[in-house]
Amino acid sequence: MNADSPVGFFDSGVGGLSILDAFKRLCPDEKTVYIADSANCPYGSKPAEEIVRLSRANARKLIADHGCKMVVVACNTATAAAIDVLRREWPDIPFVGLEPAVKPAAFASKTGIVGVLATQGTFNGRLYRETKARFAKDVTVIATVADELVMLVEKYVKVDSPRPKLEEIDEVMAAVRKRIEPILAAGADAIVLGCTHFPHLRRAIENVASGRAIVIDPSDAVARRAKSLIVDLLCQTTASKRMAGLEVPHFFGHENVSNPVNKG
């Protein structure tokens, strides 16, 4: 593993930029490659077999074409359908996936009711079902599919452009209210952003939920996990070189290069 190799990210579109942004805040010196598969967005309503096929193609491009040392599956739906397949196909490459943050929501809730915004593909996945069964046995979970919010993010957020203030767009706020108000009316006091498109709407959702519910965004937790795996990889590489009597390079402080790749 080359320490200067990039970290790869892919999503069905621009949603995973929320994870990339969190990672770059934490690891500003790491090179990155991002694939936005906008031509096939959304993944959430597709059959699992198709999601696996698309995810394998994205991972192959990141690993074979760009030499990525690690791949972040910056898509809840792709994680649910494909991460086990990807790990089997590339056993030497670390893959970081996502799952809805049901656990912290369940622990934080005082009403015993939490809302989860995600795609149908995520709700159908093993990770969500297992996490819900393990950590949300004593709470009511309101599972809400919100594909129209995914497409609104795709409409307004672009890979190479500054992130827009979606909370200032009337069309966005109307769509957010339509999805969030029923969750709040049901008594939820915690709302999980279970799709990487939804952190782009965090301020809009917080504006609607203000004073009634907290909004849980897993982006920073995913970035911390990715960083920890990079540290592990660098430690392994350093140890191997020292055992072989080779010169050990300095791993940190190299040039900051960001290489977004728009596959859409």
Q: Judge whether residue 235 has pLDDT over 80.
A: no
pLDDT digits (tens, 9 = 90+) for 28-51: 999 999 999 999 999 988 999 999
Q: Judge whether residue 250 has pLDDT over 80.
A: no
Identify the domain containing residue 55 by its residue range. Answer: 7-98+220-261
- Whether 120 and 168 share a structural domain: yes
Q: With b meaning 16 or more CB within 10 Å and e meaning fewer, what string describes 215-245? A: bbbbbeebbebbbebbeebbeebeeeeeeee
Residues with a known catalytic role: 75, 195
- Whether 155 and 176 share a structural domain: yes
- Whether 24 and 72 share a structural domain: yes
Residues 171, 152 contacting (CB under 8 angstroms):
yes
Residues 218, 133: Cα–Cα separation, whole Å: 19
Assign 262 a pLDDT band (cuts: 50, 70, 90). Answer: very low
The verdict on residue 82 lying in a domain is yes
Average pLDDT (112-117) is 97
pLDDT digits (tens, 9 = 90+) for 168-198: 999 999 999 999 999 999 999 999 999 999 9
State the CATH number of the domain containing residue 152: 3.40.50.1860
The verdict on residue 2 lying in a domain is no
Question: Dihedral sign, CA of 45, 49, 52, 53?
Answer: negative
pLDDT exceeding 90 applies to what percent of the chain? 79
Assign 4 a pLDDT band (cuts: 50, 70, 90). Answer: confident
The verdict on residue 165 lying in a domain is yes
- Whether 108 and 190 share a structural domain: yes
Looking at residue 125, its pLDDT comes to 87
- Whether 120 and 40 share a structural domain: no
- Whether 38 and 88 share a structural domain: yes
- Whether 109 and 73 share a structural domain: no
Residues 206, 199 contacting (CB under 8 angstroms):
no
Average pLDDT (195-207) is 97
The verdict on residue 62 lying in a domain is yes
- Whether 87 and 106 share a structural domain: no
Looking at residue 247, its pLDDT comes to 47
Q: What is the tally of structural domains in the chain?
A: 2
